Amino acid sequence: MVNTSQSLRRAALLVSAVAVLGLTTACGNGSGTVSSPQTESGTAAPAGGDASADGSSAPVASSSGSDTATGSDSTSTSSGSSTSSSASSGGGVTTISSRCHTSELKAKVGGNDPGAGQENFPIVLTNTSGRTCTVRGFPGAAFVNASGTQLGPDPQRESGSTATTVTLKPGQSAWAGLTFSNPEISGAKTATPTTLVVTPPDEKDPLKVAWTAGAVPVSGNSSSVRLSVFSAGTGA
């Protein structure tokens, strides 16, 4: 028959052992308290991305002349705006230029350079600000009449175009091509706009340029108007 006093003594010893084990676990961090799990806060990925026409990296395009811009590789900032890195010739100092905003640019349409039944006009943007800035990619463009109504569909982007970042010092220019088939040859229906509305790359506010080159195709055969990416210079 089991002795009652021995059973009680064993039970007391068991309770003490459990208490000691619990105390040891609680003191495992050396402070006498149980540490709560630590959570590392996350960070969102930066907005933006490569602004090239085909999603590829930007090759370098450059040319000479006091009114001619230079091209360079570009990166993207967390705000989505494109920046261009360029080294000065004086001491290898690198400067960072942000993209040109509409308010810093003046637009014009250069003279027609026809060929093979095509009408070819350069859309020229000139930096009128006091700082260096950049343009990259396609412009936005639309023909409108005197009441501001758009004539024809939006121009198409030239397939296979590769964008470069064009760095514009104050007074320098970049140009993009605007091309369409001669309506007299293609037989397309035409309309005569009063204005070409031009939107710089990555901008929302447009610039307005008087259109004095006559009728443009708006529907029917070969009525597409096409745009190329910006390059350094005036396209002349």
Strand partners, 122: 177
Average pLDDT over residues 64-83: 42
Can you tell me the distance from the alpha carbon of 199 to that of 125, in angstroms, rounded to the nearest whole number? 10
Which tokens is 117 given? 């039944």
Rg (CA), the chain: 34
Read off the pLDDT of residues 132-180 as tens digits, 9 standing for 90 and up: 999 999 999 999 999 999 999 999 999 888 999 999 999 999 999 999 9
Count of CB atoms within 10 A of residue 198's CB?
24
Which tokens is 22 given? 């619990």
Can you tell me the distance from the alpha carbon of 111 to that of 140, in angstroms, rounded to the nearest whole number? 19
Contact, 74 vs 83, CB < 8 A? yes
Can you tell me the distance from the alpha carbon of 118 to that of 115, in angstroms, rounded to the nearest whole number? 5
Q: Is the pLDDT of residue 38 over 70?
A: no
The closest of 175, 172, 168, 70 to 123, measured between CA atoms, is: 175
